[in-house]
Amino acid sequence: MSWVVLVVSGVLEAVWATAMGKSEGFSRPVPSIVFVVALIASMGGLAYAMRSLPLGTSYAVWVGIGAVLTVVYAMATGAESVSVLKVLFLAMIVGGVIGLKALH
């Protein structure tokens, strides 16, 4: 169960990071509210997962999922350019996350 919560928390990290960018310095109410709610849920899930998973593994997986999804979303919406090297490096992060899960 901890791994499921950790993955969902990683997804929520991408949500709050994207919402923070769209809030324009917290001047837009809807993205600001999404940011706060997703941040609390993401951190709560991370804390829950860390009760039974190692700190380093939990944090690395959480950050890895959040970082990859944030970049993928930005590329999908055209906010960031797509390149073969970016996709390769993102795949390397995903591979690292899978490796950490396989070792646990």
Q: Where are the domains of the chain?
A: 2-103
Q: State residue 1's pLDDT score.
A: 94
Banded pLDDT at 48 (limits 50, 70, 90): very high
pLDDT (tens digit per residue) in 57-101: 999 999 999 999 999 999 999 999 999 999 999 999 999 999 998
Q: Which amino acid is at 27?
A: S
Residue 82's H or E segment, with its range, is none
